[in-house]
Amino acid sequence: MTTASEESILVLYGTQTGNAQDVAERVGREAHRRSFSTTIKPMRDLNTDELMSVRRAVFIISTAGQALGAKPLLPKGLG
């Protein structure tokens, strides 16, 4: 059986205003408090190979207004 201290969580966020990053950091702190190894990063920095190699990933994405004129938050090849 695997314990929490041996497990990791990848927390990815997409944000333009910083709100999703704030939430991602809170999620990361809570996971760390529960003894998980945690990596927090913006989705634009995600390597697709990295995503395929993780067992647990949390995606946090926020929009502003009606998301009109929103810029892409995903790396090329994922969207």
4-61 belongs to which CATH class? alpha beta
Q: 1: pLDDT confidence band, cut at 50, 70 and 90?
A: very low
For residues 56 and 50, the model is more confident at: 56
Asked if residue 25 has pLDDT above 90, the reply is: yes
Instruction: Evaluate if residue 74 carries a pLDDT over 80.
Output: no
Residues 48 and 79 sit within 8 Å (Cβ to Cβ): no
What mean pLDDT, rounded, does the chain reach? 82
Under 8 Å between Cβ of 36 and 65: no
Q: How far apart are CA 28 and CA 65, in angstroms?
A: 26
- pTM attached to this predicted model: 0.74
User: Is the Cβ–Cβ distance between 12 and 71 less than 8 Å?
Assistant: no
